[in-house]
């Protein structure tokens, strides 16, 4: 993924496109780069499935729109095909936190408030890994402290502007883009995701031709797809195994 610090990113691109001057990128740019890698470098001509979590789910939808004959199926989980207005506002608050506090403490607090559900916090499901709320926050701060804020802002902006309807030929119409998908879709939102609310997924499913809709029955919010909860992992693995 562009801007992740390993691929081309604000932190490793030479002037004049380094840091805040890094050019705006889109999810479809990542998909195009991956398509070129597969076809031109590795000789892969067809995919059985594209499976993706969060921004990877955005990529899965984009694959099916950009390359409809290249992939048989997609499995997006904890992510949608378009970033809707509430997501744009939330991400703007994250970008503001990073801009105001390069130490990323403000960003870590933002993350903690959004990545897990309210019920996850009430039941203190962070235990026994962490003893207190402060321990959770401290761990998040430590995780993000080494990361370049320009990379994080570039990724947030990429997420913020994502719309499969911006694919050439659809004139910004994400509903028409979703309706064009010929691949089978296993769509798995988290029932308690605050980043990608299940209502957004329920709205999108109506435009998909061949969709299996299987919400993840989890209290872990967006993190239901991140691998930390064994029950969520079992649900995902079982569904994906049967689907493909």
Looking at the DSSP bridge assignments, the partners of residue 213 are: 187
For 54-105, strand residue ranges (E) read 71-77
Q: Catalytic: which of 35, 110, 174, 222?
A: 222
Rg (CA), the chain: 18
Backbone angles phi, psi at 73, to 5 degrees: -150, 155
- Does the N-terminal peptide bond of residue 16 adopt cis geometry, omega within 30 degrees of 0? yes
Q: Specify burial of residue 50 (Cβ count, 10 A radius: 0-12, 13-18, 19+).
A: buried
- Among 166, 193, 200, 232, the active-site one is 193
**Residues near 166 by Cβ (< 8 Å), separated by ≥ 6?**
26, 28, 172
Would residue 69 show up in a list of annotated catalytic residues for this protein? no
Q: Which residue has the tokens 């493909």?
A: 244
11 is catalytic: no
Is 193 marked active-site?
yes
Exactly one of 11, 54, 66, 218 is catalytic; name it. Answer: 54
Say how far apart CA 62 and CA 112 lie, in whole Å: 28
Return the active site residues. Answer: 54, 193, 222
């Amino acid at each position: 993924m562009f801007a992740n610090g390993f691929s081309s990113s604000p932190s490793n691109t030479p002037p004049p496109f380094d840091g805040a001057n890094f050019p705006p990128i889109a999810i479809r740019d990542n998909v195009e780069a991956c398509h070129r890698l597969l076809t031109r470098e590795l000789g892969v001509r067809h995919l059985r499935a594209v499976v993706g979590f969060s921004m990877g789910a955005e990529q899965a939808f984009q694959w099916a729109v950009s390359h409809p004959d290249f992939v048989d199926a997609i499995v997006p989980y904890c992510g949608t095909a378009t970033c809707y207005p509430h997501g744009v506002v939330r991400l703007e608050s994250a970008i503001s936190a990073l801009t105001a506090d390069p130490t990323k403490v403000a960003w870590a607090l933002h993350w903690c408030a959004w990545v897990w559900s309210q019920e996850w916090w009430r039941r203190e499901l962070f235990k026994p890994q962490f003893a207190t709320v402060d321990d959770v926050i401290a761990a998040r701060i430590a995780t993000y402290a080494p990361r370049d804020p320009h990379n994080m802002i570039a990724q947030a902006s990429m997420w913020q502007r994502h719309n499969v309807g911006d694919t050439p030929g659809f004139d910004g119409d994400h509903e028409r883009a979703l309706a064009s998908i010929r691949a089978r879709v296993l769509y798995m939102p988290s029932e308690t995701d605050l980043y990608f609310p299940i209502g957004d997924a329920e709205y999108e499913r109506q435009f998909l031709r061949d969709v299996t809709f299987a919400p993840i029955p989890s209290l872990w919010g967006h993190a239901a797809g991140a691998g930390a909860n064994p029950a969520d992992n079992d649900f995902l693995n079982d569904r994906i195994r049967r689907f493909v």
